[in-house]
């Protein structure tokens, strides 16, 4: 997965850079495909790769987590 992320990122970055440097008819398409590649392909894959194996409920502000935070603050004072 790490190599796929690098490959997609490099392809999108090269597409954007070539779009800004080349003077051909399809420069806007290169920039657009690079941007879409970053936002529609790379970012979801990156988020999935980093959140794999973690429980999202640990990061939510639920009643249980709020009580645990209050109790930990009372202990430090």
Domain ranges of the chain: 2-76
pTM exceeds 0.75 for this model: no
Integer distance in angstroms from the first to the last C-alpha of the chain? Answer: 45
pLDDT band at 55 (very low <50, low <70, confident <90, very high): confident
What is the rounded distance in angstroms from the CA atom of residue 57 to the CA atom of residue 45? 20
- Give the SS3 label for residue 53: coil
pLDDT at 77 (0 to 100): 62
Task: Tell me the mean pLDDT in the region 1-8.
Answer: 93
Sequence length of the chain is 77
74 pLDDT higher than 80: no
- Cα-Cα-Cα-Cα dihedral of 11, 40, 6, 56, to 10°? 180
Average pLDDT of the chain is 90
Kindly state the DSSP code that residue 54 receives in the 8-state scheme.
Answer: -
């Amino acid at each position: 997965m790490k190599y796929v992320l690098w490959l997609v990122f490099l392809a999108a970055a090269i597409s954007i850079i070539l779009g800004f440097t080349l003077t051909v008819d399809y420069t806007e398409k290169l920039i657009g495909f690079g941007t879409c590649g970053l936002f529609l392909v790379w970012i979801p894959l990156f988020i999935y790769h980093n959140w794999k194996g973690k429980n999202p409920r640990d990061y939510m502000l639920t009643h249980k987590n709020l009580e645990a935070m209050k109790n930990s603050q009372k202990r430090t004072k």
